[in-house]
Chains A and B, each alone.
Chain A
Amino acid sequence: MGSKILLNIPEKDMERIETLVKAGEYATKSEFMRFAVKQLLYGEERIGRLEAATSKVQKQTKDRKQIEVEIEEAKADTRRTLSKGRA
């Protein structure tokens, strides 16, 4: 059994939730809210993992110039690939 919370939801949002429930997208308003919470928590978890991974890459960055050079080289590769594809 989960915990219960009382929410104040703007009228407009509640109307949209009710429309989705009536359309059969969600069995109940509670199911909609559970799904919304899960989605948000998943997003938070994903961002957390991403921030940890980016800090490894960011530690290797000396300055902006390094990034510009890396991007220019990668774009040059793309130009070559696209030119070959066209030939």
Chain B
Amino acid sequence: MVEDPKELKYTKDHEWARRAEPDAQRLVIGIPRHAGESLGDVVYVELPKVGSELKAGQPFGAVESTKAVSELFAPISGKVVRVNEALAASPHTVNEDPYGQGWMVEVEPAEPGAYEALLDVEAYRQLIAQ
């Protein structure tokens, strides 16, 4: 079982965000282990194009399993600068390595402070324990 990493931030809509490398102003976004597990085997990930604008709280893509579809909600507003193209060929990576190779998009945030306002791991754990 993979623990939810402490250094990441989370949202009530079940996304995680972390600072990108080397440019720490940018954020990488994915979905937590718990979200992938409740969805089941991921068979398709629909992601936005590089250059598109995300709006905090609004859907920007979708994750589909054999049995259900779940929309992705943007943790923060900003511009997509990189998309994980590898998920097209191996969507199951979202289940297998949710915090590593299963990342989804990299975003240039519109507001620098938005990241700090997201949930920390404890708050997220409490949320999914409910």
Chain A complexes with chain B: no
